[in-house]
Structure formats: C-alpha cells, structure tokens
Homo-oligomer: A and B are copies of this chain.
Amino acid sequence: MTTATDHPTRVALLDAGTQLAARDGLHSVSINNIVHHANLAKGTFYVHFTDRTDYLVALHRGFHDRIWASVARVTEGQEAGRARLQRSVNAYLDGCLGEPLTRAILFDARSEPAIRNEIDLRNLAASKAISRDLKTMGMTSPAETARLVVAMTADIAVAEHEAGHKLPPLRTAMLRLVTPR
C-alpha cells in the first residue's frame, strides 16, 4: 500500500534533495534544483509538500530517525552507565558516517529557521539520555556535561564525515574526557 509518506514521487523528491545537499550543501537545495534533479515538474513538489519548510523538516526527520533507530538498537535493554554511553556515541557516529546528510544537517542546517527548532528538540532528547548515563557514573554536573558531550559528538561527526572514515583518536579523546580516570 502506498500511504502519504512513502509515495514514490515524494521519496524521489527527498532523495534528490539528499543528493544535492550532500554534494553542494543545504543552500543548494532549492525547489528548482530538487525538481530538476528528480526530473519532475515544479508543481509536483507542491503536491507532496506544503512548502519548503515542510520539505526540510521531512528531510531532517528522516535523517534523525534513521540515526536514532541505530542508537536505540544498540542500547536496547542496556542499563545506564559508562558502557551504554560509549555504545550510544559510537552508534551515533557510525550512523552519521553512513548518512549523506550529516554535514548538511549538523552544519548548514543550524541557520535554517525551519529546522532549528527540530534540531534543538533532538539535541535536548539526546542530552537527557546521556545525562542519565553520566549521573549513574557519578559525574558532578551530569546535565551540563551531557550538553557538552552532544556538542563534541556533533563536531566529531562532521569531522569524520569530511574525512570519509572514522577518527578513533577523536573518539577516544572524548571518551577519556568523560570517563573518570
């Protein structure tokens, strides 16, 4: 069955935007470019999305849903603590490496008012999960530290994405900071 959100043309539009964002950055994801890349008429865009904001939100949700699914897969049933934190971070970073949109979402998208709110919400959720791990580990300021872990992780994700492969020195440097010696 073809529901509203997985209609093939809608998917084609999202795919086109993903490729454009990965190649030339989020600013190149204009409706003109999207439909041209997808070999569709301009009007078709508005059959599947109410406006550009709607489209960007969909793009962002797809990205984060996939990443979070892989994080959830790895932390399922794990109790809070050092090991879970490490697993979460690694799963997140591995997920980002496989996502064409990583750079566009984590870097360019911050200035897109359309997505800003979405990003803040996701970051907050991630921060809360990490906070629980840190609390269990006996960290002094779990909430504040969790926020910093989110910032560092995003930075590493972009660095790895640009490098095209994992950067273990950065990952271990972060884990060393967060792990009491």
Assess whether A173 is interfacial by the CB under 8 Å rule: yes
Q: What does the 1/0 interface line of A109-143 toward B look like (CB < 8 Å)?
A: 01101000000000000000000000000001100
Assess whether A176 is interfacial by the CB under 8 Å rule: yes
Of B107, B113, B147, B180, the contact of A181 (CB 8 Å cutoff):
B180
Q: Are B147 and A177 in contact (CB under 8 A)?
A: no
Specify the main secondary structure of chain A where it touches its partner: helix
Listed in ascending order, the chain A residues whose CB lies under 8 Å from chain B are 25-27, 107-108, 110-111, 113, 140-141, 144-145, 147-148, 151-152, 154-156, 159, 169-170, 172-174, 176-178, 180-181
The smallest beta-carbon distance between A80 and chain B, in angstroms, is: 19
The smallest beta-carbon distance between A60 and chain B, in angstroms, is: 15
Closest chain B residue to A146, Cβ basis: B173
For A169, list chain B residues within 8 Å (CB): 141, 144
Q: Are B107 and A141 in contact (CB under 8 A)?
A: no
Q: Are B155 and A170 in contact (CB under 8 A)?
A: no
* Alpha-carbon gap, A116 to B94, bound state (A): 25
Q: Are B141 and A173 in contact (CB under 8 A)?
A: yes
The smallest beta-carbon distance between A122 and chain B, in angstroms, is: 15
- 27 A-B pairs with CB atoms under 8 Å apart are A25-B113, A27-B111, A107-B110, A107-B111, A108-B110, A108-B111, A110-B111, A140-B173, A140-B176, A141-B169, A141-B172, A141-B173, A144-B173, A145-B177, A147-B155, A147-B159, A147-B170, A148-B155, A148-B156, A148-B173, A148-B174, A148-B177, A151-B151, A151-B152, A152-B152, A177-B178, A181-B181
